[in-house]
Structure 1
Amino acid sequence: MAGKRLEKMEENRAKLIAAARKAFAEKGFANASMDDLTADAGLTRGALYHNFGDKRGLLAAVVEQLDGEMAARAREIGAKSAGNGEGDIWLALLAEGAAYIEMALDPEIQRIVLLDGPAVLGDPSQWPSQNSCLAETRKGVHAMVESGVMKPVDIEAASRLLNGAALNAALWVAASDNPTEVLPKAIEAFSLMACGLKAEP
């Protein structure tokens, strides 16, 4: 019985997140009403309060889901750029950073994660989903420092700076008046900054 109840709760959470994701992308956080969200999910306001506390809590869940998808997509793109050689993990790092920044052009990501997210939830570098991105960056930086691909730099410092540079570049692209014009500038600057950490051949 408890298993069934838990299953139903998970199902309700998933329905609310899906409905909120659609509404926040189309209308923005401020204009998406709780009644619309719950009606689209076929649930009551009580279900929203029970699962997320309030609309802000629901936004946090949507941002976490999207941020996780962004990180996975960036890793996948990075992995395709990497072969088996040590130099290829460097290419993977650059491709991953560029891919993350480029996602700022995706209308759903732009509105929910990069515009409404910081406005409502505060500093993105403090979000739990960003901590998992940082953990992945840390792993890559550690491997590159150990193998001599990257200069013998402090791993934590390099990881935070690389992670922060990609995040802030994406925020800049999303908030600019002309994102497509800003994007190549952001990616080029990110790559040049990152290259300062690369060991001399």
Structure 2
Amino acid sequence: MAATRAQKMEETRAKLIKAARKAFAEKGFAAASMDDLTAEAGLTRGALYHNFGDKKGLLAAVVDQIDSEMAQSAMAEAERKGGDAWDKLLAEGSAYIAAALVPEVRRIVLLDGPAVLGDPSHWPSQNKCLAATMQSLEALAAQGAIKPVDIEASARLLAGAALNAALWVAANERPSDVLGKAVEAFEHLASGLLAQAPALPIKSIDRI
């Protein structure tokens, strides 16, 4: 019985998150009504309040889901492109920034998210990204590929640079016009960690 109750609760949460993703993407957080968030899922307001507390709590769950998907997608893109561990780390950051062009990501995660939920660096999904970046840097440090700098400090700066670049792209009236600039700057800044500077200039446009 307990397992069934937990399963039903998880199904209810999934339905509400799915409906909220659609409503927030199409109308934005402020314009999305409670009916938009519940009727689409065939649920009541009581179900929303019970599972997420309020509309803001539901947004937090949606942002966490999409932001986590962004990170996973960036990792998959890095694996697809191949290269060494450093190439993959850069590719992950570049792909995360490029996700700012995706309408759902731009509106929900990068525009409404910070405006409603506050500083993204405190989001659970960003803490996961930070942990993954630290692991990558620790591996690179063990190989002697990066300078002997503090791993956590470096990871926080890299993750922050990628996030803020994505926020800048999303906030721009013509995001596609600044994407290349954002990725290029991110890659050059990140490369300052390398024990040896790249032999050739980084061509970020080719990586997107």
TM-score range, shorter chain: over 0.9
Match of 1:163 in 2: 159
Deviation at 1:126, TM superposition (A): 0.6
Match of 2:19 in 1: 19
Match of 2:78 in 1: 78
Unaligned stretches of 5+ in structure 1?
A: none
Find the aligned partners of 2:50 and 2:106 in 1 and give their Cα distance: 28
Could you say what secondary structure the match of 2:146 adopts?
Answer: coil
Find the aligned partners of 1:91 and 1:123 in 2 and give their Cα distance: 29
| Greater than 3 Å deviation, 4+ residue runs | none
Deviation at 1:145, TM superposition (A): 1.1
Find the aligned partners of 1:163 and 1:140 in 2 and give their Cα distance: 12
Residue number among 95, 101, 112 corresponding to 1:99 in the alignment = 95
1:19-98 → structure 2 map (5 Å cutoff): 19-83=19-83, 88-98=84-94
Structure 1 position 139 matched with structure 2 position 135? yes
Q: Letter of the 1:55 partner, please give it.
A: K
Q: Letter of the 2:150 partner, please give it.
A: D
Deviation at 1:81, TM superposition (A): 3.0
Find the aligned partners of 1:195 and 1:128 in 2 and give their Cα distance: 27
CA contact (8 A) 1:80 1:92 kept: no
Q: Letter of the 1:103 partner, please give it.
A: A
The percent identity for this pair of structures is: 69
Deviations 1:13-33 (Å, cap 9, x if unpaired)? 000000000000000000000
CA contact (8 A) 2:114 2:120 kept: yes
Deviation at 1:42, TM superposition (A): 0.1
Deviation at 1:47, TM superposition (A): 0.2
CA contact (8 A) 1:60 1:121 kept: yes
Q: Letter of the 1:98 partner, please give it.
A: S
Residue-pair matches, total: 197
CA contact (8 A) 2:20 2:36 kept: no
Find the aligned partners of 2:196 and 2:110 in 1 and give their Cα distance: 35
Deviation at 1:74, TM superposition (A): 0.7
Find the aligned partners of 1:4 and 1:47 in 2 and give their Cα distance: 17
